Structure 1
Amino acid sequence: MEVIPLKVQKRERGSRGQLNKMRNQGLLPAVLYGKQKDDLLLSVPVKDLQTILHSEGGLNSIIALQLEGQASEDKHTVVVRDIQRDPITRSFNHVDFQQINMNEVISAELPIHFVGESVGVNAGGVIQHGIRSLQVEGMPAQLPGRIDVDITQLDLHDKLFVRDIQAPEGIEITSDPEQVVLSIVVPRAVIEKEEVTETTEATADEERTDGAKEEEKEGE
């Protein structure tokens, strides 16, 4: 995964009003956490961050923070650890960055991307999702933006477990292997229709049997 540059500024700790003024100017309050350095308060251009988060790496993008006023080679390699949103507008309120070492294994949560249409769906089934992402570990440069899973061979009543997914090279899946990722199920409406049909046929059989018995009695 490529490292994406992002220019940011240092900021002072501010009041709620000052932070809201910053947001109205298109800047997002942020904090950079590091293992060997003090936490840094930052302001981030929200549009630039949104562009990165909509790239192939998404929330797992590796970012090189460049602080204005510092030498271009003095960058902080980070990942996004948390984004706080406004509960009503869903706009970004705050972001936490975690400094990483490109030579050390890190943990990440990768979205699952399903490829193809299963034979079970083509037969009238529907997909019932269990989980939509996987916990993984790997070197930062090897982490993909997502994990592709081919589901074309899944038939009606089949289940896909975490253990069935092959991890990309250099990546270890740490999610519970017995978790169900998805199932191909028969729609409830179809089951109910079949049950009604079976009940109707059984009732019709009983009526025919009763009618035949009545005819036998009349013949006697």
Structure 2
Amino acid sequence: MKFELAVTVREQAGKGAARQLRRSGQVPAVLYGQGECVLLTVNPDELVKILKSHAGGSALLALTVNGAKTKPNRNALLRDYQVDPITGSILHADLFEISMDKPIRVKVPVHVVGAVPAGVKEGGVLHHNVRELHVECLPAVLPDQIEVDASSLAVGQGIYLKDLAKREGVRFLDDADQMIVSVAAPISDAKLEALLTAGAGGPAETEVAAKGKEAAEGAEAGKAGAGAAAGEAKGGEKKEAGKEAPKAEKKDAKK
């Protein structure tokens, strides 16, 4: 999906200028790529619309650059953005300029479609193993999303990347044997109880603690024996050193 986005060239840079822009209701942005870096301002409402669309970060942007001395119309991708952790408002956006006749590599979201899988109806659990896929293609054929139909999956079955239908002009860059979506068998009550018991310090944890204590006591005993042997060895070395100390070392000591 292609979105039209109007942006404006700005002259001032820095934190102070960025804060002033945010107070005025605008978002500072930067356009990279094609051998240049352009400072911009963007309407935050337009960015939110793009991010809330099903295309999200893979959306193709047709930019109208107001105030540009050259190339007022450009194509770009929303490469990155920063959000205020408290208010949730967009603080900054990074746009990456692209050429329509050159392949690009981007992440495309994966969406599970179709009816409820057969395995889920039998009590299985649907696992969405991969949320995004890396693809390479020309901007004109960039997919908004990769749809995966999991309705026919039974318990213990899954769909791999190599199982997906080929898309003309789109090349997947991830491992072909990567699991995209699967239906797993439900965990039994007995197994769940055993896991919870072990996590709370059950018999298994007690046994490990006991073994650790025995190992620690053995290590301390070994250290004590090694220390005594080392003391005897050092005593002998001192006596030998006192008998035959080199003259050169004595001269160095006097100095």
Question: TM-score, with normalisation over the residues of structure 1?
Answer: 0.78
1:56 to partner: Cα distance: 4.4
Structural mapping, 1:30-179, within 5 Å: 30-36=29-35, 38-70=36-68, 74-116=72-114, 117-179=116-178
- Identity across matched positions, percent: 35
1:15-71 deviations in Å (ceiling 9; x for gaps):
4233122113221111101223x2001110111121223334321111122122358
* C-alpha distance 32-72 of structure 1, shift in aligned 2 (>3 A): closer
* C-alpha distance 191-120 of structure 1, shift in aligned 2 (>3 A): farther
Which protein is bigger by CA-based radius of gyration? 2
Match for residue 240 of structure 2? none
* C-alpha distance 167-58 of structure 1, shift in aligned 2 (>3 A): farther
Match for residue 214 of structure 1? none
Question: TM-score, with normalisation over the residues of structure 2?
Answer: 0.68
Comparing 62-71 with 122-131, which one deviates more in the overlay? Answer: 62-71
Match for residue 206 of structure 1? none
4+ residue segments displaced more than 4 Å: 70-73
1:102-156 deviations in Å (ceiling 9; x for gaps):
1111111111111122110111111123211110011111112101111111110
Count of aligned pairs: 192
Q: Secondary structure at the match of 1:134?
A: strand
Which structure has more relative contact order (CA 8 Å, sep 6+)? It is 1
- The CA distance in 2 between the partners of 1:18 and 1:72, in whole Å, is 24
Q: Which amino acid aligns with 1:103?
A: D
- The CA distance in 1 between the partners of 2:5 and 2:94, in whole Å, is 14
- The CA distance in 2 between the partners of 1:158 and 1:142, in whole Å, is 31
Q: Secondary structure at the match of 1:19?
A: helix
Match for residue 245 of structure 2? none
| Residues 66 and 72 in structure 2, CA contact (< 8 A), matched pair in contact too | no
1:184 to partner: Cα distance: 0.7
Bigger proportion of residues as helix = 2
- The CA distance in 1 between the partners of 2:127 and 2:169, in whole Å, is 30
Match for residue 185 of structure 1? 184
Unaligned runs of 5+ in 2: 195-255
**RMSD of Structure 2 on Structure 1 (CA):** 2.3
Match for residue 206 of structure 2? none
